[in-house]
Structure 1
Amino acid sequence: MAVGIDNSITTSLLTLLNVSATKAGKRKRPENEFVPSEKLNKRKPVQFAELEPPDSNNIDDKPTTGVAEASNVVEDGPDEAEYEDQYELHFGVKPAVLSDSSRASVDSKAWKTSKDRQGKLGTTILSMPANLQPPFSGTPRIDILERLKTPFQSKQSKQSREHVELQNDLLSTLSSRRDLYLTSTPLDSRKSLREAIALHTVNHVTKKRRRVLKNNERLAHAAKTNPSAEPPEDVQDQGFTRPSILFLLPFRSSALDWFSAITSHTPAPAFQIENQSRFVSEYGLPPGAIDKLAEAEPGTYPPDHVETFKGNVDDNFRVGIKMTRKSVKMFAEFYGCDIIMASPLGLRRSIEKEKNADYLSSIEILVVDQLDVLTMQNWEHVKFVLSHLNKLPKESHDTDFSRIKPWYLDGHAAYLRQSILLSAYDTPEGRALYNSSLQNVAGKIRTQAHWSPVNVPDGIEQNFVHFDCVSPKDEPEKRFHHFTTQLLPAILKSAVQSANTVVFVPSSFDFIRVHNYFRKHAGVTFTVLSEYSTNQDISRARQAFFQGKKAFLLISERFHFYKRYKVRGIRNLIFYGPPDHPQFFTELLSYPFLDEGVEPSDVTCRVLYSKYDWFRLERIAGTEAAIGLIKAN
């Protein structure tokens, strides 16, 4: 079966690319370049295997003519050979972990799992292909080039011991080249996590470029010493296109944070950052604009809300970053860059407009940050982008196929791509992505958080209402049926509980359904707050509910996520399902006490749940209590 698949891939690739057209050392520059956005600078495309134009600021990019001059191109650290072996082990010409049996295990989802504890990362679940014997055992050493590691350790000396240990444990885990899903990223650790992951990606780009430049030297030397001889054959060192790192981020402000993290490892004056002022201008706030969240007094908005929405929150962007030994160039053309930073929406619009995603064919490290925020946007955009990763390109882009690694030609790039997922909390979308879409034959690691119950005002009775459901496909229908036939009718029979009542709905699809039910069948006065409400709508709804003109108020979780308004007049809370964000539960239960004279006994709380609400239930009730709630029914 596997042979048939490989032959099909090879046949389509040969038909597509016509391998015999180009030989090493006789390369053409592309005539038709892909420009992903009108805002991106146009430039002549440069293939990764080519010697780049001389630049007085970039020793790494000066063309050389002999092996004697190679030391001017690449300065190896004392442990270069040791670290290069670890990089080659996974991304080299013949990766030790890539085999027919390891691919078959991944394809059939035959994983063997084990639980461990990895320092500051906490409890982790390691999943390995069932037929794979790992090329190493124990904890991997931190695989960072000496010239990058030394300044990083110098910066670490000024940080707290806890953050240093977290960064080192993270870098050690990433050095295994396994996929990693961080399911809990506290606010105070996010900057440290970004810096460590950024260092890992810079290290990857640097090692890849060094290998290419060394092989360029070998080819140039061979051509000079014996022009009639065939060029060396063992120079496969790249993919179909140059970009090897992809960051998927929710907002421009997120891209600015990652830009700062990346450039912190390329410090001035040794490095020149081209187009930095333009990038900061376009990805920061407009001139004269005031960031109300950042300027507000502490406590006005929750810290996580400020951290998420401060700065430029435009969610339509994409930018290419080219890295050389002495410079970082922002707004590089996609086929000439090393790193792509984009929002799922921005990248999808680019792909659909150009009807081409070849620049994603050779991504070797994928970083998806703030998964929890992306689920509050449009998860379909994320799925769309990921479906275009590591596919065989539609065009050749004048690629030198003698330089392409064999596993790219075999269509096996997805089996070696390292994916790094970061989220404030685990979500069904993130877990489905981790379980079904990640194919790294080196294995994958997921952190397992242990949750404590959230803080709620003392004295409020929390009533968790269970409904039976045997299939996740039937869950929305079962939830709606239980709500409309049992929970809501019981509330409407009470004169006290049928007024001043908020119905909080996590899912946007469920919110539309509940809204329609109230509009047609409930027979009560109500108003709504959704992500589509205008400022005028919001003001009217809040006032009508507070004054008692409307008995019920329907609130979608996305509305609360984006606006975080405090709502007065609440006495009864119905959670159609546990909220994704555990802090929302705390906040909503505290809002009744914004009004004077309210006692805890005046407040009621009901939470509708099934066994498929495990993630959200655990974050609210705590791990132990959630286990009890699930097992009790």
Structure 2
Amino acid sequence: MKGKKYFGKKKTIKDHISKKKRKSSNDTYVTNKKAKFNRYKNVQKVEEELEKKKQMERKFQREQEAYSESEEEQDVYGQLVSCFSKPTNTIVVNSDEEVDSDSPSPEIESCARKRARNEEVSKTESDSDYSDSEDNAKGQDFDNTATFETELDHETDDLFVKHLQYDLPDELLVSLNNSPMTVSTISKTWPVIGNITIVIPRPIETAIKKVKAKISLLEDKTFAEPGTAPSLIHKVDFEELKIKSQIHGNIVSANKTSLVKRDLELSEVLTPLQKEIFSILNNYQDLYYPERTFSNADEIRYIYCLHAINHMLKTRTRILHHNAKLTKKNDISDDYRDQGLVRPKVLVMVPFKNAAYRVVKTLMEILVPKEAGQVLNKKRFEDEFTGGELIMPRKNPKPEDYELMFTGNTDDTFRIGMTVTKKSLKLYTDFYSSDIIVASPLGLRMLVGAEGEEDRDYDFLASIEILIMDQADVFLMQNWDHLLHVLDHFHLQPKKTHDTDFSRVRSWAVNGWAKYYRQTLVFASVLLPEIKSVLNKKCHNYAGKVLVENPVEVGSIQQVLLQIPQIFHRFNASTALESAEARFEYFIKEVLPKQRDTLMSHTLIYVPSYFDYVRIRNYFKKEDISFVQICEYSKDAKIARARDMFFHTEAHFLLYSERVHFFRRFRIKGIRHIIFYQPPTYPHFYSEMCNLMQESNQNKYGGSECNMTVSVLYCRCDLVRLGALLGAARGARVLRADRPVHMYVTGD
């Protein structure tokens, strides 16, 4: 019964008549459709030609105001305009003929026009319901195109687009390659961060300015503009800061812990420190922030994770928009170049698995909060990046900073790739399918390999746009060479294509200029010249860099509890390379002979650099000096034997490396004299070592309480480390003083 009703309803008289009408008027209808289509197309083409002509005339008028033209040049312009006007007139005549005749000749029509006409006719014949609204549908197509263009216009206000979309002008490119670079320096003081120094590269000023051609067949090209000083964020406005809408609802919830910790309302969204740091990050400038502590670590981690996620979502949205546009176009213009040579865009380097675990968890909270189903391979990640904690002793507890540093999994060999989608996060993806990579310097070093190795890969580093190095000071304690080796392999030409669509690769990436667009963010707990050297030599961001430089008012010498003389020896060295040789010569000629006296037994020599440690050890062996040694490579049995011999006066010297103190934090007993071969990397290590000389740690038969000293060797290259010990003002006075030796006693 249902079938009969259905068929009866289908074959009505009305449908029969309409079918006859379509058959009888088929030729006329198709002809009308052709005429309508051709009329629309030709009108559009005429308007485009007229607009081009108007633009050329306006451009010529502007150039006439700036330059004086001769009669010959005017004739050239007239000829050029006539060349463009003749084809325009021809097109208009042909279009009029086609409209009048209603039957365009197939010789004039292009293949694309025929295809479009056939699609329109077939669409009309197959479904008569849309025949009346055909013109409306066409209008909607153009409305969508206009909407997309409007979106792109709004995106041009975003610093993400301004920083990455355009090529560098020649003047700025030459300036970036010059040594020294032409820069402008700006100093500011912000409420929380304090004193910041902004260094921005400037284009070179040529003596003879290039005169632009009065008439050019090429379009004016837009170039990247030099960087500008960051402006402080006072109120968080997601639209103004260009934060993607899909994470708006997660920002406050992911940052709730930091806001509560600072006694702030949730309406504040970000803490004052986060606002100031994000002001710099969102300006796409390099940053060196040397005041990271265990109390503000979560705030810093959250803000750079937010920046990384926001960057990746913008990149993804732009690529998807362009993909949608290109499905309707056959040719690809430079406006659609939105990718690098390879896919990975963000690299986060941290020292331990526990730090990587916290980074990934923060990314999850921002992108996919409390939704375990939207994170792929989450269980595997939890298993591999948790556990393996160090067991802290209860009898002789370690210092508080040591326990905070080495909580969780302290494995330093790891790397993990992640892919960001609209509402999910995929872990353990292949590097060439990843958007974000979280790894340690050692994990990357093993993958990058050395020259001559077969199984080495560093192509994934070719298009990194944001490099984040958190706890960079710990990299110095692990192995600084690993970091330098990895940085040397950034932005090299890939050995393989890795399925790259080169028609979508940005021109500056093809030209090998990717290093000028990379933003580098460095967070450390101390200000170190080694890190500043990396920023100066291996970071070339054309937008500039921001350095946080707050002078130390009270040095760590104030934390020494004992009343002992602390002697600072200055030697002369103009450069860092000269300082290594000059330091060793001063040590063996001026300091060591006095310390070899029998009254100066129980002397510990604290050596920050492992290369200096090896040099002193070899010299002691050569001179047959009584000593024992403890370094990061020493086995536990040898460490116990060395400590015992030193305590019982069986060895005159104890050679002690800074790295073993960082990783093991031994409480050496029996110290009567300390020689700091160089000021320590961490200033609190100075007071910590000096306080080990208290009476409870001494051998009663190893010397008297009056015979205890501390000696420090330094030069001008150690200004930063010296300032951390004595205070910036006092350290500067010591370096300027005429006397090379200064003595301090705590409490003066």
TM-score using structure 1 length? 0.81
In the alignment, what sits opposite 1:604?
709
Q: How far does the alpha carbon of each residue in 1:34-71 deviate from its partner, in whole angstroms, 9 at most, with x for none?
A: xxxxxxxxxxxxxxxxxxxxxxxxxxxxxxxxx99x99
Q: How far does the alpha carbon of each residue in 1:534-584 deviate from its partner, in whole angstroms, 9 at most, with x for none?
A: 111111111121122222211011111111010111111111111111111
Shift of 1:468: 1.7
* Among candidates 516, 525, 534, match of residue 424 of structure 1: 525
Shift of 1:458: 4.2
Query: Are 1:516 and 2:618 an aligned pair?
Result: yes
Which residue identity does 2:572 align to in structure 1?
D
Asked if the contact 2:250/2:365 (under 8 Å) is kept, the reply is no
In the alignment, what sits opposite 1:395?
496
Which residue identity does 1:457 align to in structure 2?
L
Task: Report which stretch shifted further, 309-318 or 435-444.
Answer: 309-318
Asked if the contact 1:80/1:145 (under 8 Å) is kept, the reply is no
C-alpha separation between the residues in 1 aligned to 2:509 and 2:276? 31
Shift of 1:354: 3.2
Asked if the contact 1:167/1:196 (under 8 Å) is kept, the reply is yes
Asked if the contact 1:83/1:145 (under 8 Å) is kept, the reply is no
In the alignment, what sits opposite 2:692?
591
* Among candidates 721, 724, 731, match of residue 619 of structure 1: 724
C-alpha separation between the residues in 2 aligned to 1:511 and 1:416? 39
| Higher RCO (CA < 8 A, seq sep 6+) | 1
Q: How far does the alpha carbon of each residue in 1:268-312 deviate from its partner, in whole angstroms, 9 at most, with x for none?
A: 2397111112112112225xxx5313xx55982223222322222
Tell me, which stretches of 5 or more residues in structure 1 are unaligned? 1-66, 224-228
Shift of 1:231: 5.5
Cα distance change, pair 136–556 in 1 and its aligned pair in 2 (3 A)? closer
Asked if the contact 1:84/1:207 (under 8 Å) is kept, the reply is no
In the alignment, what sits opposite 1:474?
578
C-alpha separation between the residues in 2 aligned to 1:325 and 1:130? 38
* Among candidates 221, 237, 262, match of residue 160 of structure 1: 262
DSSP-derived class of the 1:376 partner: helix
Which residue identity does 2:315 align to in structure 1?
K
Cα distance change, pair 323–436 in 1 and its aligned pair in 2 (3 A)? same
DSSP-derived class of the 1:158 partner: helix
In the alignment, what sits opposite 1:191?
298
Query: Are 1:285 and 2:391 an aligned pair?
Result: no
DSSP-derived class of the 1:516 partner: helix
In the alignment, what sits opposite 2:15?
none
Cα distance change, pair 526–304 in 1 and its aligned pair in 2 (3 A)? same
In the alignment, what sits opposite 1:110?
182
Cα distance change, pair 492–348 in 1 and its aligned pair in 2 (3 A)? closer
Asked if the contact 1:361/1:391 (under 8 Å) is kept, the reply is yes
* Among candidates 733, 737, 741, match of residue 628 of structure 1: 733
In the alignment, what sits opposite 1:327?
424
C-alpha separation between the residues in 1 aligned to 2:499 and 2:601? 69
Q: How far does the alpha carbon of each residue in 1:389-444 deviate from its partner, in whole angstroms, 9 at most, with x for none?
A: 12222222221122111211222111111010111112232111011111110011
C-alpha separation between the residues in 1 aligned to 2:623 and 2:186? 51
Identity of paired residues, percent? 32
DSSP-derived class of the 1:503 partner: strand
Task: Report which stretch shifted further, 105-114 or 502-511.
Answer: 105-114
Asked if the contact 2:232/2:276 (under 8 Å) is kept, the reply is no
How do residues 95-174 of structure 1 correspond to structure 2 at under 5 angstroms? 98-108=168-178, 109-131=181-203, 134=226, 136=228, 139=231, 142-154=241-253, 155-156=255-256, 157-160=259-262, 164-174=271-281
Cα distance change, pair 158–299 in 1 and its aligned pair in 2 (3 A)? farther
Which residue identity does 1:324 align to in structure 2?
T
Cα distance change, pair 489–208 in 1 and its aligned pair in 2 (3 A)? same
Asked if the contact 1:145/1:203 (under 8 Å) is kept, the reply is yes
DSSP-derived class of the 2:692 partner: helix
Which residue identity does 1:565 align to in structure 2?
F
Shift of 1:481: 1.2
In the alignment, what sits opposite 1:180?
287
Query: Are 1:310 and 2:383 an aligned pair?
Result: no
Shift of 1:506: 1.1
How do residues 334-349 of structure 1 correspond to structure 2 at under 5 angstroms? 334-349=431-446
C-alpha separation between the residues in 1 aligned to 2:316 and 2:470? 25
CA RMSD of aligned residues (A): 2.8
C-alpha separation between the residues in 1 aligned to 2:251 and 2:396? 34
Cα distance change, pair 469–103 in 1 and its aligned pair in 2 (3 A)? same
Asked if the contact 1:270/1:326 (under 8 Å) is kept, the reply is no
Shift of 1:103: 2.0
Cα distance change, pair 160–249 in 1 and its aligned pair in 2 (3 A)? same
Shift of 1:342: 1.5
How do residues 434-513 of structure 1 correspond to structure 2 at under 5 angstroms? 434-451=535-552, 452-454=554-556, 455-493=559-597, 495-496=598-599, 498-513=600-615
Cα distance change, pair 219–574 in 1 and its aligned pair in 2 (3 A)? same
Asked if the contact 2:630/2:660 (under 8 Å) is kept, the reply is yes
Query: Are 1:567 and 2:668 an aligned pair?
Result: yes
Task: Report which stretch shifted further, 271-280 or 356-365.
Answer: 271-280
Cα distance change, pair 490–509 in 1 and its aligned pair in 2 (3 A)? same
Which residue identity does 1:479 align to in structure 2?
R
Asked if the contact 1:79/1:146 (under 8 Å) is kept, the reply is no
Shift of 1:136: 5.0
Asked if the contact 2:603/2:652 (under 8 Å) is kept, the reply is yes
DSSP-derived class of the 2:260 partner: coil
TM-score using structure 2 length? 0.69
Shift of 1:361: 1.1
C-alpha separation between the residues in 1 aligned to 2:349 and 2:588? 39
Asked if the contact 2:230/2:283 (under 8 Å) is kept, the reply is no
Q: How far does the alpha carbon of each residue in 1:436-469 deviate from its partner, in whole angstroms, 9 at most, with x for none?
A: 1111100111111322211111422211011122
* Among candidates 375, 378, 392, match of residue 476 of structure 2: 375
Asked if the contact 1:271/1:328 (under 8 Å) is kept, the reply is no
Asked if the contact 1:83/1:144 (under 8 Å) is kept, the reply is no
DSSP-derived class of the 1:533 partner: coil
Higher radius of gyration, 1 or 2: 2
How do residues 13-32 of structure 1 correspond to structure 2 at under 5 angstroms? none
How do residues 204-243 of structure 1 correspond to structure 2 at under 5 angstroms? 204-220=311-327, 222=328, 229-230=330-331, 234-243=335-344
Which residue identity does 1:292 align to in structure 2?
I
C-alpha separation between the residues in 2 aligned to 1:135 and 1:408? 19
DSSP-derived class of the 1:234 partner: helix
Which residue identity does 1:86 align to in structure 2?
L
C-alpha separation between the residues in 2 aligned to 1:599 and 1:363? 60
C-alpha separation between the residues in 1 aligned to 2:571 and 2:228? 47
Asked if the contact 1:121/1:166 (under 8 Å) is kept, the reply is yes
C-alpha separation between the residues in 1 aligned to 2:158 and 2:677? 54
In the alignment, what sits opposite 1:9?
none
Cα distance change, pair 147–307 in 1 and its aligned pair in 2 (3 A)? same
Tell me, which stretches of 5 or more residues in structure 2 are unaligned? 1-139, 205-224, 234-240, 265-269, 739-748
